[in-house]
Amino acid sequence: MVLLTGCAHRIEYRAIPAWLIPPPPVLPMITAAELQCLAPEVYVRLARRDRLRAQEAAELRALLGDENER
């Protein structure tokens, strides 16, 4: 039998100062003509990946307390 005891520490989360949050990156533009060589299923996967990455970035910025992402 193992008995664990100890003091529970309270953890408090606070938003970091706005000046520590880096601005979102400027992403390069890709034209429709440049995407013509992709197979339709590859284009769909690329678009989904891009959307998921943007969503994750927005969620992380929201966790940091970035008022621009609310």
pLDDT in tens, 1-33: 665 666 777 877 777 788 888 888 888 999 989
Structure tokens at 23: 């601005």
Q: What is the pLDDT of residue 48?
A: 95
So what's the pLDDT on residue 44? Answer: 94
* Average pLDDT over the chain, rounded to an integer: 82
Determine contact, residues 64/16, Cβ cutoff 8 Å. Answer: yes
pLDDT reading at 70 higher than 50: no
Query: pTM above 0.85?
Result: no
Q: Are 35 and 43 in contact (CB under 8 A)?
A: yes
62, 70, 69: which is closest to 15 by C-alpha?
62
